[in-house]
Amino acid sequence: MKVTFIVNPESSSGRTKARFNRLEPEIQEAFPNTEILHTKEPGHGIMLTRAALESGANLVVAVGGDGTANEVANGFFDNRRLVSADAKLGILMSGTGADFRRSIGIPKDLRRALLRIKEGRTINIDVGVLKSQKSDGSLNERYFLNESSLGLSALAASLVKDLPGKQSRLSYVIAALRALRRSKSTTLRVIVDGKEMELKDVSLIAFANAGYFGGAMHIAPEASLTDGLADVVCISNINLWLMIKYVLRIYSGTHLGLREVTHFRASSLVVPNHNEILVEADGEPQGTLPATFEILKGVLPLVC
């Protein structure tokens, strides 16, 4: 079996490089026919993954955070089809947020996660697709493993990258508080699986393939990676008082019954253009509305 490891040495504020170096002898022992590649800039992981698959890799392992896993997953697809029907994705998660690790149950310890990959247990997971608008007006299509969202959460995802120092769970909270000062709630008419729906006073909408986002916030506690549906969570009228009051409930996943929360499941969601509201996917900014969110059922083999 030909195995390629795609490593983002800058993830987890640069700690991933040292962690991976300590693990590399065990990787070489577990997978003798191994290629190790390091990303050098945003988007590089997509290109490296695509090249590895086209050269015959059977297993591509993303080493880094949610952003790295997202890039490697995007490299698996071309026009919504797998580049290689025989290839599988593996993940050694070493990032700050590690939201997908929590959702899928990947061990935090990299050695234990490597053993799970070596065992080869595979499940076919759903993958989300976001179509959004770039700043130049062109359309952007991005696959996502974990979630995609619009509004306050997407603005926070943009602002967290501007914070100095190492990213932490506190970084996401600080970014959310800063985003709160700049965002406004708005009423949106959306199309859910072909049917029109009005969502009033929207602060954010999360289209969740998996359970967590924003650095361990359990935004969609009932989400499944294999049911062909996203859990859509809409939170309305968020202000500073509500954020302080309910932040622990969002982290613990006990917020779905709140008056300000609307929750339903869908395979697609279309949101029209509205005041340049931002969107993100797996924590990475992806442009603005208008946007289309979809779920592709069971399309990606994941070794976990």
- Angle subtended by helix axes 110-119 and 15-30, to nearest 10: 30
Retrieve residue 203's tokens. Answer: 């602060």
Retrieve residue 165's tokens. Answer: 């120092």
282 among known catalytic residues: no
Distance (Å, whole) CA 227 – CA 209: 9
The enclosing H or E element of 178 equals: helix 169-182
| Residues found in the chain | 304
- Of 66, 99, 126, 282, the catalytic one is 66
* Cis amide prior to 290 (ω within 30 degrees): yes
Helix and strand element counts for the chain (H, E): 8, 16
Q: Are 206 and 232 in contact (CB under 8 A)?
A: yes
**CA 24 and chain centroid, separation:** 26
Q: Which of 203, 230, 208, 227 is nearest to 219 (CA)?
A: 208
Q: Are 77 and 143 in contact (CB under 8 A)?
A: yes
Catalytic sites, residue numbers: 66
